[in-house]
């Protein structure tokens, strides 16, 4: 009897240790334990302004893009399922151990199998997976082949983790602007309420926040719920009503803090703290995005120059060195040393500017021989044409006209 009690006590103690250890591990955000970066899977549309948003996500040092599964309007169902088979982990343990957050962009749930949808829901609840739904299941289907029907989502187990309920076949009043309800990092940005966030009128279906959810913003005209989040077990889910490809270009290009709006929504969903100094964070994020865009343009220019036989090896070497500086800036950003991060990314951007001047000079030298070759070819063709013309028009008196032929005489 004493032995049994001791055994039960030991087992209970071990179970308590396991529970405590699990909760201690899940106390922070779900990220890569080795690098501290968020492993993000993006599912859905990749057209229009979604590409610009993807460049923002790729440039952020705290985010590592695990993969992109094209679905919805970006890929027919069979192709979308091929992306799933190629990119999505084959077992639940691998899925939990390799993906920290999922960002859905206007895509249907049925590209995943029922079992995979259960993995996603259970990972939100048990492992702290972040789930961000952008333009998801709000409006009636108008693309039959790749339809994102709200009633499909209502049958999916993932729908249990949503912060909202979809009201079928009803839309919000055509409100362009949203007003802040809860000052969270997602919407607590300068001039957010002045941005035309509503997108095309009639595109937004009616949703209602579930009990316990946090309403970040409501539509200004009809006061319907717009941006909503909730805690689901260990994880957090959020719904953004307007797709990135539907947001006004005025908001995307002219609003200074659009980059922060995109990244803060991912951070918040993944329970990652936003930097305390919002202005410095904005400057850093914009600088990382600028470096990525300028580097892409530089590589395109170098590829163009390389086609003319120029020696572009030194340029690639310098880009590798600048990538190392930018990587150091990312490490400083992850460790919270924002001032050092700012200095490093600034040096990398300045290096790209200098490299741009070198590549422009190399391009001029490379194209000089192209111009010379074209000049020689054009000059040679002109001289040949002129010689022929001179022979036919000026030297024609060297030739006498044939008055008659033997055949002509015979016919007479």
Q: Evaluate if residue 271 carries a pLDDT over 90.
A: yes
Return d(Cα 201, Cα 248) in angstroms, integer.
12
Could you report the per-residue pLDDT of 32-89, keeping only the tens digit for each? 999 889 999 999 999 888 999 999 999 899 999 999 999 988 888 899 999 999 999 9
Q: What is the pLDDT of residue 15?
A: 42
Average the pLDDT over 273-296 and give the result: 84
Could you report the per-residue pLDDT of 339-359, keeping only the tens digit for each? 888 888 889 888 888 877 777
Closest CA to 30 of 128, 126, 123: 128
How many Cβ atoms sit within 10 Å of the Cβ of residue 412? 5
Name 203's Cβ contacts closer than 8 Å, sequence gap at least 6.
138, 139, 171, 242, 246
Q: How sure is the predictor about 409, in pLDDT bands with cuts at 50, 70 and 90? A: low
How many Cβ atoms sit within 10 Å of the Cβ of residue 407? 7
Return d(Cα 266, Cα 268) in angstroms, integer.
6
Q: What is the pLDDT of residue 2?
A: 39
What's the fold here for domain 24-273?
Rossmann fold (3.40.50)
Average the pLDDT over 359-388 and give the result: 75
Closest CA to 104 of 239, 204, 225, 273: 239
Q: Evaluate if residue 224 carries a pLDDT over 80.
A: yes
- The answer to whether the CB of 87 falls within 8 A of the CB of 27 is no
Q: What tokens appear for 145 in the block? A: 């082949």
């Amino acid at each position: 009897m004493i032995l049994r009690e001791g055994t039960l006590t030991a087992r209970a103690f071990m179970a308590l240790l396991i529970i405590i250890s699990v909760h201690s591990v899940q106390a922070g955000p779900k990220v890569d334990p080795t690098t501290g970066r968020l492993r993000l899977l993006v599912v859905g549309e990749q057209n229009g302004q979604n590409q610009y948003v993807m460049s923002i996500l790729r440039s952020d040092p705290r985010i590592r893009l695990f993969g992109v599964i094209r679905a919805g309007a970006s890929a027919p169902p069979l192709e979308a399922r091929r992306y799933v088979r190629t990119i999505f982990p084959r077992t639940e343990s691998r899925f939990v151990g390799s993906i920290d957050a999922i960002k859905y962009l206007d895509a249907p749930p049925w590209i995943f199998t029922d079992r995979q949808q259960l993995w996603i829901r259970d990972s939100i609840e048990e492992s702290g997976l972040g789930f961000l739904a952008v333009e998801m299941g709000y409006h009636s289907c108008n693309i039959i082949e790749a339809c994102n029907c709200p009633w499909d989502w209502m049958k999916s187990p993932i729908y249990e983790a949503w912060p909202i309920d979809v009201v079928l076949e009803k839309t919000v009043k055509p409100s362009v602007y949203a007003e802040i309800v809860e000052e969270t990092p997602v919407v607590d940005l300068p001039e957010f309420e002045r941005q035309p966030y509503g997108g095309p009128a009639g595109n937004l279906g009616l949703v209602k926040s579930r009990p316990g959810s946090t309403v970040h913003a409501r539509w200004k005209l009809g006061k319907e719920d717009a941006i909503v989040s909730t805690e689901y077990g260990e994880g957090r889910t959020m719904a953004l009503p307007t797709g990135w490809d539907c947001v006004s270009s005025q908001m995307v290009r002219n609003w200074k803090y659009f980059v922060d709006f995109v990244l803060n929504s991912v951070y918040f969903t993944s329970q990652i703290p936003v930097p305390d100094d919002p202005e410095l964070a904005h400057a850093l994020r914009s600088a990382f995005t600028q470096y990525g865009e300028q580097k892409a343009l530089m590589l395109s220019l170098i590829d163009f120059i390389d086609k003319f036989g120029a020696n572009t090896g030194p340029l690639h070497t310098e880009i590798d060195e600048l990538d190392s500086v930018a990587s150091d800036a990312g490490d400083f950003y992850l460790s919270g040393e924002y001032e050092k991060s700012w200095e490093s990314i600034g040096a990398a951007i300045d290096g790209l500017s200098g490299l741009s001047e070198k590549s422009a000079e190399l391009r001029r030298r490379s194209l000089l021989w192209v111009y010379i070759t074209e000049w020689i070819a054009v000059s040679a063709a002109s001289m040949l044409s002129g010689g022929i013309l001179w022979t036919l028009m000026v030297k024609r008196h060297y030739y006498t006209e044939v008055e008659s032929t033997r055949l002509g005489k015979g016919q007479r």
